[in-house]
Every structure is written in structure tokens, then in C-alpha cells.
A and B are shown apart, each in its own frame.
Chain A
Amino acid sequence: MGVSDAPAIALRGVVKRFGPITAVAGLDLEVPPGICLGLLGPNGAGKSTTMRMLTAQAIADEGSIEVLGWKLPAESKQARAEMGVVPQLDNLDVELTCRQILTVFARLYRVEPAERPAAVQRALQIANLTERAETRVDLLSGGMRRRLLIARGLVHRPRLVLLDEPTVGLDPQIRQELWSLIGALRAEGTTVLMSTHYIEEAERLADTVCVMARGLIVARGRPAELVREHAGAQTHEVYGPPARLEELRAQGERAGWAMRRSGPALAIMHAERHDGLLPEGVRRAATLEDAFVALTGEEIE
């Protein structure tokens, strides 16, 4: 297999424990080059630990990890030279300006000295921060800081980008801005591995979604495929007093319906299979959230 068609990331049987807690429990995951793969799961599913293992900031207890053809942890430095990382938590130097931060990291990423000014300028443009180049980080808004984190991860034009919960805690407008930025990255063919617990984010940006729960991948596919396979075509939502919904749930369990609570309603999945049997309610297209809950039994944002 040539370097170009080999998986950008390959994890096989990876286990990571923290004392008595098993954060990652025998994870198998391959990310082909050139796609955006969304790792979707609730908090505590093992996404961030997986991300940290890909940069060798956490070392697997069992299994093997390869990133861009480099074996981890022994060759992690080479792998990190060819990938960019956008962390979940802001770790920018608040005393430095955008340009200073990008210049420091261009050097750390081994960008040749003669190419550094252009690389920094390009990263500033990508993140739409050119006009803020000389602004100190502590004077930037939350959205600008997040864009600077992305610029920092792209300053060396990486082949692979790891995005760990890229829009967590941001308001909807800034989230949209970042989605455009990530979408453009994806359109240009950079391999992206993105962890998220936002359904909409995974649906909008990922070519392939892996649903992660309790340290394992429980399903993998294109968002539409996952919905079709695990939630069907339609979901039927029934509203009513709690006692009525409980009665309906008991009836559904006897009949083998796939159900979940959806806010004040009881949502019955694969509704198209039960036409004529369901009580009055609201029919809607099944969503990735339905599939996620069906797969994991856990609610998600």
C-alpha cells in the first residue's frame, strides 16, 4: 500500500485505562485520507482520550496506533510534524499577539525560516485574522481565539488535522463561522478527524460519522446511512401527560418498538413499520439524534 492510499489514522485494539476506569476499551478505527471523520459521542465516551493518544499525550495500554504511516508512540514526533491539532481547551499564550504565536509555532513545526512570514500570513488569512495580527490574545473575542487556535494548527499546512470539540461552548453565530472554516478545509482534501458531541456539527461537516460510547465505536457510516439503518425513515412523536406516555411506553415495549424520550414527547422510531398501530402524534423525518440514542441509549446535544 502506498503512502497516499494508506489510512491517515489506524487504531487497532486500543485500550487506555486511568486507574480503575477504562476510557478507551479496545478501539478499532481507520480514517482514510482526504475525508472528514466525525467522532460523535457524549461526554466521557473516550473521544478526548483518543485524540490525546493520537498526539502521544496519552499512551495506549494495549493495541497499536499509526498516524500518517508513523507508529505511535515511538514515532509520534514525526507524525505531529505532519498534522495540526486544534485542542478543546484554549491554550494560547495570552501575552502574545496573533502573529507572534503563529511565528513561534511555524518554527516549532519546522517551517523553513524563509517561508515563515508567508506561512504566518496565510494562516492569518485562513482564520480571517489578518487585521488582528498585531493584537494581543487577551484582547481577542472568544470566537477570534478559537479561529487563532485553528490557524495555529494549520500554519505548517498539515496533511491531517485533529479537531477536538472545535465549537464547544461557542455561540451559534461563531459556530457557523467555524463550520465554514472547517468546511473549506475539508473541501480542499485535508484529512480531518473531528470529535464532537453536537449532532448537527457531525451531520453538517463529516463525510463519515463514528458513534462512540463507553470507549468503543458502536456504529460507523455516512450520517444518512446511520439514520436509515438505526432509526428508520420516520419518527413518530406522541405528546401527552406523563402517565399516558408511560402506558404507551409499556405497550411499545411489549410490541418491540424502538422508543426514546424526546423532550416532553415519546418518540417512536421506525414509525413507517408501524403504520396504523400508533396513536395520534406528529410524524417527522428520522434524525441522526434518533440513531444516536437508539445506538447508545444516551441523550446528546
Chain B
Amino acid sequence: MSAVVRAGRRRPLHRIEPTAVVGVMSRDATVFTRNWKTTTFSSIVEPTIYLLAFGFGLGALISSIGGLTYKEYVGTGIVAMAVLFSSAFPGLYGTFLKYRFQRTYDAFLAAPVDVDEIVSAEILWIGLRAGVYGNAPLLVAIAFGLHPKPTAVLVPLICFVAGVGWVGFGVAISASAQSIDNFSYITSGVLTPTFLTAGTFFPISNFPPLLRALAYVNPLHHCVALVRDVVVLGVHPWADLGHLAFLVGFALLTWRLAIWRLRVRLID
């Protein structure tokens, strides 16, 4: 056995250190190299099935919505759904598994890593994945005849920002849950209504006033509106900056919320 004694280091460590965040992300990336096939399959296939079913099913019955063909309408709307699925669910289930069963976060906290860094790393990593997976329905729609504008290159960035917000939401809920069964309430009571009232499959302008007001504070609606603008409708600078600001605000809010809830969960 080699010597393990050496003089102590006395360098200050900051509250959020890039080395710790990247270190936690490197763990996630290493695990991802093992399970990327299943993760990718589950994140892409379901939104794609929705796209094909609604695009070709309802698309045959509906000629256009707001000047867009139904395929264009749904093809851009389902991007947001892919973002939701590939960010909120890993945030919910992945976090729960890591703190309750695998005790991965306990291992990190015994090293010079704080809860802020764990949450930041998880959010960034899953947000990056959402930034990639969110494009899948769009690519399928392109294969079936959608002609995107050049500004469509901004879609990964929009998906990333929206994804970060939904991961934070998932982590915060997960850290507050007593049992994994509680997630059924969130899936049925929050996530499903969220993507149904985001303007994904039909416009929210026909909703009753109260429901329409609720839809406007639905972060997914702002993701849908942004994606639709940059891909097919064209950029409306002020309105789109507003949508982006809403998504950034949602991301910041859920990031802090996730840190608070996970700290309560992990630190006695």
C-alpha cells in the first residue's frame, strides 16, 4: 500500500464550483454511455407516435389552424411535449432513485460537493438531453414535408431552456415526495393537463377565459409558441423575448426550488 499522508491544502472552495458541477455531470454522462439506448428510445418514441397519430389522424380532418397546416401545427407543438417528457420524468424518477435507493447523493455529499452543485449538474445534464431529444419530432415532421425557417436552428436552445425548468420542477417534486407512487398525482394532475393546454394539439385562444389565463402561465405554452415562431411562423422579437423571459424565469424559479427541497431531504 502506498503512502496516503500529505500536507493539507488550504484553498478556498466556493458555493457553486464548476469542477463539482462538471464532476457530477461526468458521472451522469458515464452512466448515459451505458443506458443511452433505452433513455433515447423512451424520450423520442412516445412524442413521435403522438406526432404521427395526430398529424396523420387529425391532420386528415383539419385543413389548417392559424394559417398553418395541421402537420406544421402539431409538428412544432409536439417538440414541447418531447421536452416535457425528457426532462420532467428524469427529474422525478431519476432523483428519487438516486436519493432513496442508490444513495448516490449521499456519496457526493461526503465529497466536496454541495446540494446546489448536485441540483445544478442534474438540471444542466438533463436540460442538455432535452435540448437534443426535443428536436426528434421536428426531424420526423421535416421528413414528412415540414419546411422549417433558418431560425429553426434555435430550437435546441429553446428546448434546453424549457427542459431546465421542467427538470427543476421534477427534482423539487421528487425531493418532496414520500413515495414513488405519489408521482401518479403529478403525472395525471399536472403534466398531462400541462401538455394538453399548451397549444400543442389545438389553439388555446378558444379556451374559456379562466382556462386561457391558466394556459398563459403554463411554461410549456411559451415553449410551444417560441418553437412555432422560429420554425414556421417567423420571429416576433418582442413577443418571443417575452416567451423566452418566461422560460428563463421558470427555470430560475424551479432551480432554486429544487435546491431548497433537496437540501431539506438530504441534510438532517
B110 touching A55 by the CB < 8 A rule?
A: yes
Contacts of B108 in A (CB 8 A): 108
Residue A159 at the B interface, CB < 8 A? yes
Closest to B22 in A: A107
Q: Is the C-beta of A273 less than 8 angstroms from some C-beta in chain B?
A: no
Residue A245 lies at the interface, judged by CB distance under 8 Å to chain B: no
- Bound-state CA distance A59–B267 (Å) is 7
Partner of B110 from the list A18, A85, A94, A100 (CB cut-off 8 Å) is: A85
- Once bound together, how far apart are the Cα atoms of A181 and B2, in whole Å? 11
Chain B residues, Cβ within 8 Å of A126: 1-2, 4
Docked-complex contact B103 and A89, CB < 8 angstroms: yes
Residue of B whose beta carbon sits closest to that of A54? B110
Q: Is the CB of A185 within 8 A of B107?
A: no
Count residues of chain B with CB under 8 A from any CB of chain A.
38
Q: How far is the CB of B118 from chain A (nearest CB, A)?
A: 11
Q: Interface size (A, Cβ < 8 Å)?
A: 50
Q: Does A278 touch B at the CB level, under 8 Å?
A: no
B62 to chain A, nearest CB (A): 45
The answer to the question of A82 belonging to the interface, with a C-beta cut-off of 8 Å to chain B, is: yes
Would you give the shortest CB distance from B93 to chain A, in whole angstroms? Answer: 15
Inter-chain CA distance A132–B108, complex, in Å, is: 23
CB distance from A126 to the nearest CB of B (A): 5
User: Is B5 at the interface (CB under 8 A from chain A)?
Assistant: yes
Q: Given A55-B109, A104-B23 in contact, is the A157-B114 Cβ separation under 8 Å?
A: no
B210 interface residue (CB < 8 Å to A) = no
B37: Cβ under 8 A from any A Cβ: no
Contact pick for A81, options B13, B22, B35, B266, CB 8 Å:
B13
Q: How far is the CA of A56 from the CA of B113 in the complex (A)?
A: 11
Partner of B112, one of A89, A109, A152: A109
- Chain A, 99-153, CB within 8 A of any chain B CB: 100, 103-105, 107-110, 122, 125-126, 152-153
A91's partner among B102, B113, B267 (CB-CB below 8 A) is B102
- Chain A to chain B: the 10 pairs with minimum beta-carbon distance, closest first: A91-B103, A85-B110, A58-B268, A81-B112, A108-B23, A107-B23, A91-B107, A108-B111, A184-B1, A80-B112
10 contacts between A and B (CB under 8 A): A3-B8, A52-B268, A77-B13, A82-B8, A87-B103, A87-B107, A104-B30, A107-B19, A107-B22, A108-B24
Q: Chain B interface (Cβ within 8 Å of chain A)?
A: 1-6, 8-13, 19-20, 22-24, 26-27, 30-31, 34-35, 102-104, 106-114, 266-268
Which positions in A face B, CB cutoff 8 Å? 3, 16, 18, 49, 52, 55-59, 68-69, 77-78, 80-82, 85, 87, 89-96, 100, 103-105, 107-110, 122, 125-126, 152-154, 157-159, 181, 184-185, 188-190
